[in-house]
Amino acid sequence: MKKKKKVIYLSISIILILFSIIISFNYFKQKNKDLENKAFSWDNVSLYFVMTDRFYDGNKSNNNSYGRVGVDSKGSTVGTFHGGDIKGLTKKLKEGYFSDLGINAIWITSPVEQIHGFISGDSNGSFAHYGYHGYYALDWTSIDKNMGTVQEMREFVDLAHSNGIRVVLDVVINHTGFSTLKDMSDYDFSPIKNDTVDISSWTPSETENFDTYNKTIVDYSGHKEEWDKWWGPDWIRAGLPGYTPGGTNDINMNLSGLPDIKTESTNPVDIPPILKTKWIKDSTEKNNKWIIPSAEKYRENLDIAPSEYIIKWLSAWVEEFGIDGFRCDTAKHIDMYRWQELKEESNKALKTWRENNPNKPGAKWIDDFWMTGEVFGQGIEKNEYYANGFDSIINFKFPKGDSLDSLEEIYSEYDDKINSDPSFNILSYISSHDTGLTRGNMINLGTKLILSPGGIEIYYGDESNRKASTNTITTAKDQPSRSDMNWDTLDQTVLSHWQKLGQFRSNHISIGAGTHKKLQDSPYIFSRTYTKNTINDKVIIATNLSGETTINVSSIWENSTSIRDFYTGKKYTVKDNKITVNADINGVVLLEKVDK
């Protein structure tokens, strides 16, 4: 009898466990579906810009791909790959880091295969500089092995989509990466002065520096037949034998000395010699795990112009993974019509991906492919870029001081210029990889940026008060802002503030895309309202509050309406057109309507 009871109890226990598992599975499945289908507009985008290599190392086995080193021979790490990869991004997605910050789009540095070797990082040859940042492209049809595999990229994008997060790639059309000794060795072109030098593994001796090879090894004035095996004069401008030299205008200059792709050319060309050699080697080395499947049809002579090849290669990433947008590097250095061509090809590719993957997260989304661009120095001005494929341009002129005294001046101007025109938007930021880290009162800076009308960009670590690199081996201005993500020293006070603001923005499309209206000067209180299609979203926000404050909310809500301060979680009921709130120590109140 006892044995029979034990069997019954065991059976009941198993049934209850299975029932619990089913309930939990359905709960999380529905939760993900809710996130995926959350109301979204690029006009209210909170775009997290992550330098993938410096963010999180999810797979240490790929850290030294192509023979790269983490520490150069002079002991510096300032320009080396640090290990961050796509798998690391996926891990942080699973942990909820981006969702907790209210992020609805992630911009990752270009994941295309970069030059394999290093160049001199500065004029003094102080450090080895690799293409860890994604701006030294070698092959647009492959993912860089340091970043991960095609399958890892697919998993990242699918998981982001299931969390309602769009994925934006940094793209480069203007230039290729520099020539390096390693690439010469790997792809069989040797314009060198001394055949006894092993260019596959050269590093400077104690009496040399990282610029020495430019002076004593590489022949930049001869060996035309060897340089012809590189990109070739039909593809790029460079100060090399047989190549067209760089010009003096934005389109034909060698920006920062980089090999300039002849983007303005309409002449049909063959595949560049280096890629012909590389693609044969890819086959013998069985590099299929890193070749973008949708790009394989473009890895042959298409008899089209250089820009047209790159546009097809980039659109293949969209067709393969369902990429949602591009951040276009050096936008003013390419003819406008080329950007329009990229937009059109990418839109087609995104539609193809959605048709081919009807059951994947994001396949039911209806927003068009999105493009923002880097036009260095541009602010909130609408110009010809918006008529040539761009939905947004990065706003270099967003005020970066940490005072909140001029918020109304900023917000009212941005609202007047941006949200009154449905075809115009910007992407405001406080820090970037090119212009440095803005630091100060990070509570105020978070308030100022995240509550701004229009799109916003959060540079990785702004939300955690990441410090600049203290490497003193070089004075190179860009490097300090690209320090490793400070996972071990997150500023929890700052992070918590940014998370609350970010989630509130994510929950309310009116923050970025709605109409701004000042309600009170001191303390500063304003409303944002958005009424479009089936969405009717209204909020009231106050800053610089202290203690108990009475707010007139009659312009937004009626008496007896239940209101919550999202920042503190406190609830109030409108009475006599007012509510009396108790602000947190940071002085921010985020009011929203809730069910009673």
Q: How many CA atoms lie within 13 A of 516 on its CB side?
A: 26
**CA 417 to chain CA centroid, nearest Å:** 25
Please name which of 558, 554, 548 lies closest in space to residue 580, comparing C-alpha atoms: 548
Q: HEC states along 265-327? A: CCCCECCCHHHHHHHHHHHHCCCCCCECHHHHHHCCCCCECHHHHHHHHHHHHHHHHCCCEEE
- Phi first, then psi: what are they for 432, rounded to 5°? -160, 170
Whether the CB-CB separation of 495 and 507 falls below 8 Å is answered with no
CA distances from 265 to 15, 203, 262, 307, 512 (A): 69, 37, 6, 8, 39
The secondary element (H helix, E strand) that includes residue 29 is helix 2-36
Distance CA 394, CA 391 (A): 10
**Longest Cα separation, the chain:** 97
Distance CA 546, CA 581 (A): 10
CA torsion 132→133→136→141, rounded to 10°? 90
Kindly report the number of other CB atoms within 10 A of residue 471's CB atom: 16
Q: Could you give the strand order of the β-sheet that contains 515-520, starting from the edge strand earlier in sequence?
A: 515-520, 525-532, 535-542, 589-593, 562-565, 571-573
Distance CA 561, CA 350 (A): 43
Whether the CB-CB separation of 418 and 561 falls below 8 Å is answered with no
Tokens representing residue 446 in the block: 């978070």
Q: Which residues contact 158 (CB under 8 A, 6 or more apart)?
A: 322, 360, 361, 362
Distance CA 281, CA 501 (A): 50
Which residues are the active-site residues?
329, 374
Distance CA 333, CA 174 (A): 6
The secondary element (H helix, E strand) that includes residue 571 is strand 571-573
- Preceding peptide of 523 cis, ω within 30°: yes
Whether the CB-CB separation of 349 and 316 falls below 8 Å is answered with yes
Q: Which residues contact 208 (CB under 8 A, 6 or more apart)?
A: 125
Tokens representing residue 43 in the block: 């006009």
Number of H helices, E strands in the chain: 14, 22
Q: Side chain identity at 322, as an amino acid letter?
A: G
CA distances from 481 to 58, 466, 533 (A): 22, 9, 41
